[in-house]
């Protein structure tokens, strides 16, 4: 007998939500004795608990995934149990994609029935395509049909995800109308239709800034319940989000431990919030806002970047110099207009804060 040397599978760069949080999902399903909508793997209560975090009666800690108003998540989850689809709307970096992934992982046990919307998305990506080799050899048959993730979700009563809905051309978007109103997908080539199993629904996401690109038709809009995800309400909430995500990302990327980055997290969040709001936190100085969004997601990557710099090229402690470059890169998206905004902020605000002198120096060094 020969033995084949099996190399261990390489660790995944980014496991799906249902993989990363398999233990939490299992524990929740085990204690969950509330009624479950057809095909759901847990009750709406358990889904909201999974998103917002809690400690279960058996002691299992459910980590918060979404930080923000509970009511929004309740509305989102309740919508998915009705015949309306869910549209998550918001400015970039407000966790629309993140929430959509976790919702489908909790409800259907899988977040992978995903269609990425782009200006090139064709109807086949929403309905079905054909395996042309088979089609030519055997003619149209069910075996030659290549189902879209949405068609697969209809068959199994699962949640399908549709990212960036408004980037999809309007005539292609309209392929969704029959699916959402009649819950069926005709396949005229085969003289048949696929009727959705109970539990099927769609979570779409769309970016506020894209509005107007391909506005949703009113026929389609009526089939969606819209939940707007806001930017974090308070500075402490935003610090909390960034801290949590940086910790998770840092351990997923196996970055060497970088001690308490709390100071720098607070500083980055403060800078982003002040520039976004166009006024300093003490309400004294009016500021110009840069053209970019300065989202929470960007704050997370500024810190993660800084941690990699400090771990590999610095002294292992996150310092102002490790984040200055990434902060400036986030603020200055438009080289002309945003440079003015940044220079004003640097000289009028950063320079005046004694405890920020390290950061001021680091920024000046980059600006030259």
Ligand X SMILES: Nc1ncnc2c1ncn2[C@@H]1O[C@H](COP(=O)(O)OP(=O)(O)OP(=O)(O)O)[C@@H](O)[C@H]1O
The contact set with ligand X (CB under 6 A) reads 66-68, 90, 92-98, 205, 207, 232, 241, 245, 296-297, 300
Binding-site partner at residue 44 among Mg ion, ligand X, none, CB < 5 to 8 Å by type:
none
Binding-site partner at residue 245 among Mg ion, ligand X, none, CB < 5 to 8 Å by type:
ligand X
> In the bound complex, what is the minimum distance in angstroms from residue 160's beta carbon to ligand X?
17
Binding-site partner at residue 296 among Mg ion, ligand X, none, CB < 5 to 8 Å by type:
ligand X
**SS in 3 state form for 263-325?**
HHHHHHHHHHHHHHHCECCCCCCECCCCCCCCCHHHHHHHHHHHHHHHHHHCCCCCCHHHHHH
Q: Look at strands 159-163 and 114-116 and give their pairing.
A: parallel
Angstrom CA distances, 126 to 109, 115, 306, stand at 21, 7, 40
> In the bound complex, what is the minimum distance in angstroms from residue 59's beta carbon to Mg ion?
34
Binding span for Mg ion by CB under 5 A among 94-102, 103-111, 214-222, 329-337? 94-102
Q: Is the dihedral of CA 65, 69, 71, 75 positive or negative?
A: negative
Residue closer to ligand X (CB basis): 300 or 331: 300
Residue closer to ligand X (CB basis): 72 or 135: 72
111-122: burial string, b at 16+ Cβ within 10 Å, e else: bbbbbebeeebe
Interaction pattern, residues 47-86, with Mg ion; x per rule: CB under 5 A = ----------------------------------------
Residue closer to Mg ion (CB basis): 79 or 207: 207
What would the two tokens of residue 305 be? 């970047």
Check binding of 97 to Mg ion (CB under 5 A): yes
Binding-site partner at residue 68 among ligand X, Mg ion, none, CB < 5 to 8 Å by type:
ligand X
Angstrom CA distances, 295 to 9, 171, 237, stand at 35, 31, 13
Binding span for Mg ion by CB under 5 A among 52-60, 95-103, 230-238, 314-322? 95-103
Q: First-to-last CA distance in the chain?
A: 68
Tell me how far the alpha carbon of residue 70 is from its chain's centroid.
17
Residue with nearest beta carbon to Mg ion: 97
Residue closer to ligand X (CB basis): 96 or 223: 96
What residues from 222 to 261 belong to the interface with Mg ion (CB under 5 A)? none
Residue closer to Mg ion (CB basis): 54 or 210: 210
Binding-site partner at residue 66 among Mg ion, ligand X, none, CB < 5 to 8 Å by type:
ligand X
Binding-site partner at residue 67 among Mg ion, ligand X, none, CB < 5 to 8 Å by type:
ligand X
Binding-site partner at residue 232 among Mg ion, ligand X, none, CB < 5 to 8 Å by type:
ligand X
> In the bound complex, what is the minimum distance in angstroms from residue 233's beta carbon to ligand X?
9
Residue closer to ligand X (CB basis): 97 or 217: 97
DSSP string computed for 113-167: -EEE--TT--HHHHSEEE-HHHHHHH-S-GGGEEE-HHHHHHHHT-EEEEESGGG
Please answer whether residues 287 and 349 qualify as being in contact, where contact means their C-beta atoms are separated by less than 8 angstroms.
yes
Residue closer to ligand X (CB basis): 294 or 363: 294
Binding-site partner at residue 207 among ligand X, Mg ion, none, CB < 5 to 8 Å by type:
ligand X
> In the bound complex, what is the minimum distance in angstroms from residue 346's beta carbon to ligand X?
26
Q: Is the dihedral of CA 354, 359, 360, 365 positive or negative?
A: positive
> In the bound complex, what is the minimum distance in angstroms from residue 265's beta carbon to Mg ion?
22
Please answer whether residues 318 and 310 qualify as being in contact, where contact means their C-beta atoms are separated by less than 8 angstroms.
yes
Distance CA 323, CA 346 (A): 15
> In the bound complex, what is the minimum distance in angstroms from residue 340's beta carbon to ligand X?
25
Query: Which chain residues interact with Mg ion by CB under 5 A?
Result: 96-97
């Amino acid at each position: 007998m020969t033995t084949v040397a099996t190399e261990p599978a390489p660790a995944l760069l980014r496991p799906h939500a249902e993989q990363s949080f398999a233990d939490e999902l299992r524990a929740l399903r085990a204690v969950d004795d509330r009624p479950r909508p057809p095909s759901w793997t847990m009750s709406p209560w358990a889904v909201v608990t999974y998103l917002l975090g809690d400690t279960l009666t058996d002691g299992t800690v459910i980590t918060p995934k979404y930080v923000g108003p509970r009511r929004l998540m309740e509305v989102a989850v309740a919508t998915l149990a009705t015949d309306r689809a869910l549209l998550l709307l918001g400015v970039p970096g407000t966790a629309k994609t993140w929430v959509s992934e976790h919702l489908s992982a909790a409800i259907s046990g899988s977040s992978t029935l995903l269609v990425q919307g782009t200006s090139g998305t064709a109807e086949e990506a929403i309905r079905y395509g054909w395996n042309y080799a088979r089609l030519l050899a055997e003619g149209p048959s069910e075996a030659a049909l290549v189902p879209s993730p949405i068609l697969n979700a209809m068959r199994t009563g699962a949640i399908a995800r549709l990212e960036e809905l408004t980037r999809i051309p309007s005539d292609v978007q309209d392929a969704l109308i029959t699916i959402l109103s009649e819950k069926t997908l005709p396949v005229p080539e085969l003289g048949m239709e696929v009727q959705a199993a109970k539990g099927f629904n769609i979570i779409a996401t769309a970016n506020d800034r894209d509005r107007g690109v391909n506005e949703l038709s009113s026929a389609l809009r009526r089939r969606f319940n819209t939940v707007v995800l806001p930017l974090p309400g308070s500075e402490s909430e935003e610090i909390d989000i960034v801290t949590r995500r940086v910790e998770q990302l840092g351990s997923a990327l196996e970055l060497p431990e970088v001690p308490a980055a709390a100071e720098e997290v607070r500083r980055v969040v403060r800078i982003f919030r002040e520039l976004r709001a166009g006024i300093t936190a003490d309400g004294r100085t009016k500021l110009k806002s840069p053209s970019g969004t300065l989202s929470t997601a960007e704050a997370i990557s500024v810190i993660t970047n800084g941690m990699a710099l400090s771990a590999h090229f610095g002294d292992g402690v996150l310092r102002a110099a490790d984040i200055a470059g990434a902060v400036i890169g986030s603020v200055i998206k438009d080289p002309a207009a945003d440079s003015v905004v940044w220079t004003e902020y640097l000289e009028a605000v950063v320079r005046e804060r004694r405890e920020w002198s390290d950061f001021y120096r680091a920024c000046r060094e980059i600006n030259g």
